[in-house]
A and B are shown apart, each in its own frame.
Chain A
Amino acid sequence: KQEVTQIPAALSVPEGENLVLNCSFTDSAIYNLQWFRQDPGKGLTSLLLIQSSQREQTSGRLNASLDKSSGRSTLYIAASQPGDSATYLCAAQGGSEKLVFGKGTKLTVNP
């Protein structure tokens, strides 16, 4: 059974800082790993999707890496801004095509 863990549960940083969010998963037989953003009381916005054959994906100030052998993914946010404040969720997708989510990391970027 796939289990996804995210560390830390919450993170508070000053504006402009670079930061890393961590995600680990127990079953390396995944099709892809996705990172989502969730604003309070809202749905999920897909940020990055890394296919199992890829090592990383980049979009603007965001960079996500995937190491299947160690069961880890990281989301790197460069030059953080107050608008980046949200909960970040990672999700592993296996053969059944369902997503298994972690509990998320709540990020606060202080002006």
Chain B
Amino acid sequence: ETGVTQSPTHLIKTRGQQVTLRCSSQSGHNTVSWYQQALGQGPQFIFQYYREEENGRGNFPPRFSGLQFPNYSSELNVNALELDDSALYLCASSTRTGGLETQYFGPGTRLLVL
């Protein structure tokens, strides 16, 4: 148990729809990162939030957006869903200490786009 929770666990959407995934970080962790893991691949960095501000973004289009809230929860929003968005979405929380921290991952949300 990492103390990081994600909801929902599974989700089915159709192309063109919008989806919101949620993550609750460990208490006191001021940094949350989101990753996309396609089947058979390693996780790919989407973006990171630090103290409610976006702090780094991977190679993902603007239809992937996020929010971080003061209560250590965060959201990943994806608009205009495409079939290739089908993946396991992972959030990870940490306390920024100059790159020496362990990131604690949640169990993930599996998204299927039909």
Contact = CB atoms under 8 A, between A and B. Distances in A.
B65 interface: no
A31 B92 CA distance: 17
B102 A103 contact: no
Interface residues of B, number: 31
A96 B105 contact: no
A51 B90 CA distance: 23
Given A49-B102, A95-B99, A96-B56, A103 B41 contact: yes
Nearest to A53: B100
30 contacts: A31-B98, A31-B100, A32-B100, A34-B103, A41-B88, A42-B107, A43-B4, A43-B6, A43-B90, A43-B105, A43-B106, A44-B43, A44-B92, A46-B104, A46-B105, A49-B102, A97-B33, A97-B55, A97-B56, A97-B96, A97-B99, A98-B56, A98-B58, A99-B43, A99-B45, A101-B42, A101-B43, A101-B44, A103-B41, A104-B42
